Amino acid sequence: MLLKIISFLLLLGSSASAVNYTGPVGHREAFLANSGGAMIDSPGNVLLNPAGLGFRQNKETALSVSGNAVARQEFNVSQYSVDPEEMTVRPLLAASVFPTQYGTMAVFLANPTAFRIYGGSEYTTSGVAVKTLLRVDYQELATGVTFANTVNSDLAWGVSAGVSMETQKSYGYTRAFQTGVTAATSFNLTEQKTISLFVTPGLLYKAADFWHIGLSMKTLADISSTANTQRFATSSSSPTTVEETDRSFDPNGTNPFAYRLGQEFIFSPANSLYFDIVYVSATSAYNSNNEKYLNDEVWEGSLGYRHSLSGSYELLTGYAYTQSQSADFNMISAGLSMNRRNNEFIVGGYYLSNTPKDAASSGYNSYGILFSSNVEY
């Protein structure tokens, strides 16, 4: 049971998080539940499909900033006397897009994934009562450049490349007790850091006036990967003696590939439907005992809708579902876009729920306010 919980939390904090995003990311894409694989001319193209910038017609430089104004996470962990919760404020994306003689370029800094997740279980096996509490703190930062251009009036290409840094801290407490026999407790602290190069090439094809198709892929190549784990344990046979171990190791095995197929259906200049499918390949990693464990492949589907209202306002909304062998994610997001000349400001919110498939593991909910602005000058 402990292994299942650890695997579930490591899935959330593994390199798979660096190629697929279960939370909102991008500019308009964040309010469409990340369904932007076929979107044209959005600063969020740098993350999901850089080819979207190839069709950019505006010759002005644009600066975009988006983020979570407030985000709240709630956890269902029965072993806590008080339900743990977290409040966070963080940027999602800062990007500058500008024209060049040869096409459209962009530079960007993103914090697409950051979370603090709690887990726990309490069960009895072979007469031994085992209780575990776990917490994982995860952060990803990515910076890079994008270049995009058209092949012809119907086909564009683009590529984003840069450096990604993932940091993760895992805290674990385990207590095992059997009446009249033995009792033991242990505390584990694991810290790891991975620096990787990433490349995201993409294509966007205007199959018809009402139908656009986008295809992109993201892959990682590690520059460095380090980790250290410390364990402190006591037992009833020697309650005054603390056993300490300290190990350094390389946690990463194989990195994932992520493939995104996006479509945009244009019903009218005021109404569009977006539909994305994402596949993330299976990965592997190693623990402090040099034991290899696998993270299963991940599938995601997202659906977004854009509807123009009166004046210069647009309604954006979307739903995404992510499935793995360990857990299911559901995300809903929505926002109101306000356009003035070539400037755009969007404000809205999102709700994300996680349901582990192991009934003994703990799930969580996250919700908050989103904002994004894009200024051209």
243 in Cβ contact with 185 (< 8 Å): no
Rounded to whole angstroms, the Cα distance separating 165 from 225 reads 10
Residue 204 Ramachandran class (φ > 0 left, ψ -120 to 50 alpha, else beta): beta
- Give me the residue label for tokens 């697409």: 112
List the CATH number of the domain containing 357. Answer: 2.40.160.60
DSSP at 52: G
Contacts of 126 (CB under 8 A, 6+ apart): none
Q: For the segment 74-120, what is each residue's pLDDT rounded down to a tens digit? A: 666 555 554 556 677 788 999 999 999 999 999 999 998 887 777 77
Neighbours of 188 (CB within 10 A): 18
- Token code pair at residue 87: 């409040």
**Average pLDDT of the chain to the nearest whole number:** 86
pLDDT at 135 over 60: yes
Contacts of 98 (CB under 8 A, 6+ apart): 61, 62, 104, 105, 106
Strand, helix or coil for residue 53:
helix
Neighbours of 89 (CB within 10 A): 11
Query: How many residues are there in the chain?
Result: 377
Range of the domain at 159: 2-376
- pLDDT, average across residues 273-286: 91
pLDDT recorded at residue 10: 45
Q: For the segment 291-346, what is each residue's pLDDT rounded down to a tens digit? A: 887 778 899 999 999 999 987 899 999 999 998 877 888 999 999 999 987 789 99
Q: What is the pTM of this model?
A: 0.88
> Total domain count for the chain?
1
Instruction: Look at 359 and 209; give whichever has higher pLDDT.
Output: 209
pLDDT recorded at residue 75: 64
> Distances from the Cα of 343 to the Cαs of 64, 82, 94, 338, 376, in angstroms?
10, 45, 15, 8, 6
Tell me which of 169-173, 183-187, 235-239, 249-253 is least confident: 235-239
